[in-house]
Structure 1
């Protein structure tokens, strides 16, 4: 008889999770999912949808979480109908959500109490990288558990970085997104200044595209936003949330973050008008501010 496929269950099955799931299928696993917004028993990609996080955990060999924030993580993980209530002793829980380091550590502690290995494994990259299986996975947890999860992590990403103990993957994710968010707001302000000061738009964008000082990620965002494409590869609301998490954890450690704080304010303004659009929406918002 052929060997039965292991089942990987996703709690949260949005744009990122569904793309990661396809690579996990290609690696030889079966995928099931839970999402509170489900209106049928099957996702658009054919994944079987289960009725609660607990039911999903009971049906899965490995559980992955991909939810937007700490509140959603807590709601799906704990309680009578939560993931932990349905996981078997010795199970593996991989949390790819971008959440606070404290939330990641609490989940890891709760996992230990139930005999479940928990990794915080947020990813760096947006939907194009998820589509290509080219994410960078930033992992916190025990080294032996990281190796146990390696087939899954290798399926969804081009590189895995073991950042340290539980919660440190989330810390590294906040570092990465802080750089992304602050760099984008600085880029937006500088471009807005250049246009108001009389530089030709096409010349300016062409010059910036050829400069090494701007990352490939931000060049892609600049080109898309300047052509009017702000479709949400990484929504403004999520970037603003991550910047807020960085400021909050920075305060815990008494770390001054004045540049991050200023960038977060500009993203807050952008969120008022473009919460569901890509965070590169800060470019047209800042240009409009510069023009008065």
Structure 2
């Protein structure tokens, strides 16, 4: 099925207010919280479930995924990995125990393609509608409603979900049947991770070769070959501060999913495999810092080697 690009106008007419519709988030981290705020602003009622049960910004927290499924009209999954998603789905208190016929479930998590396909199979079995919609973008884009939404599943389910996707994102790209969006998301994040690793290697060379630090970082933030996204990461590294817009633990997890999936399909991608290893190493010390901390780790290794 060919990919289709569905553009959102992002004007007042394109924002649908749904005062009588309740959206329930399973997983309520930084990304979900910002998406939820935009949905609140559009008139939706928001409830949420997290294992910690900690309230955030006045959002009502429900005790179990089952309770959330029973009380919400629409469910949005936004969890860190396959394991967390399965914990929310199964069991006496899981989502599947409370999901209603024809209920819409939108999965914005970055999970394995196999997990996305499992959710689709469960939807067919249980009679609800499931759409995979992993997002491209970090917390700044989530806050402003400028995420890129990658959609996979049935086209009619995408049409049901489109008003919500138009609020949390600026563009929806339909990738195809279940699993397609998950695979496309791994491509996007693989390019992000591998590019950052290349930039970190460039910084390592530049500093080792004696280029003045400020000249090096300022230059890389001006040239066209570095994307706006990675220029933000360079700014963090220049300031030696890595506030977590996209934590290393999640980027490392995504790179691992990509390498595993690539092995299954026989794809040749040595640069991404190398980036996977670099980010896995960085994850040991910088798990909850932004994945840009890899640049800082490279710089630290240069400083240590020059001290010897």
Question: Normalising by structure 2, what TM-score?
Answer: 0.91
Q: Are 2:145 and 1:118 aligned?
A: no
SS for the counterpart of 1:240 is: helix
Distance in 1 (alpha carbons) for counterparts of 2:63 and 2:28: 13
Q: Decide whether the 8 Å contact of 2:243 with 2:290 is kept in 1.
A: yes
Distance in 1 (alpha carbons) for counterparts of 2:267 and 2:101: 39
Q: Decide whether the 8 Å contact of 2:53 with 2:62 is kept in 1.
A: no
SS for the counterpart of 1:279 is: coil
Q: Are 2:157 and 1:180 aligned?
A: no
Q: Are 2:235 and 1:223 aligned?
A: yes
For each residue in 1:50-78, what CA deviation from the matched residue of structure 2 results, as whole angstroms up to 9, or x when unmatched? 11001000001100001000000111012
Q: Are 2:47 and 1:32 aligned?
A: yes
Distance in 1 (alpha carbons) for counterparts of 2:221 and 2:297: 20
Question: Which residues of structure 1 form unaligned runs of 5+?
Answer: none
Query: Equivalent residues in 2 for 1:1-292 (5 A)?
Result: 5-39=20-54, 43-291=55-303, 292=305
Q: C-alpha displacement at 1:83, in angstroms?
A: 1.0
Q: Decide whether the 8 Å contact of 2:19 with 2:43 is kept in 1.
A: no
Distance in 2 (alpha carbons) for counterparts of 1:4 and 1:147: 20
Distance in 2 (alpha carbons) for counterparts of 1:224 and 1:35: 30
Distance in 1 (alpha carbons) for counterparts of 2:128 and 2:213: 55
Q: C-alpha displacement at 1:44, in angstroms?
A: 2.5
Q: C-alpha displacement at 1:13, in angstroms?
A: 0.6
Equivalences, count: 287
Aligned-CA RMSD value: 1.1
Distance in 2 (alpha carbons) for counterparts of 1:75 and 1:7: 23
Question: Normalising by structure 1, what TM-score?
Answer: 0.96
For each residue in 1:86-124, what CA deviation from the matched residue of structure 2 results, as whole angstroms up to 9, or x when unmatched? 111011000000110100100110011011111111111
Distance in 1 (alpha carbons) for counterparts of 2:138 and 2:100: 32
Q: Decide whether the 8 Å contact of 1:189 with 1:287 is kept in 2.
A: no
Q: C-alpha displacement at 1:4, in angstroms?
A: 5.5
SS for the counterpart of 1:64 is: strand
Q: C-alpha displacement at 1:289, in angstroms?
A: 2.4
Q: Decide whether the 8 Å contact of 1:31 with 1:47 is kept in 2.
A: yes
Distance in 2 (alpha carbons) for counterparts of 1:63 and 1:163: 21
Distance in 2 (alpha carbons) for counterparts of 1:93 and 1:38: 21
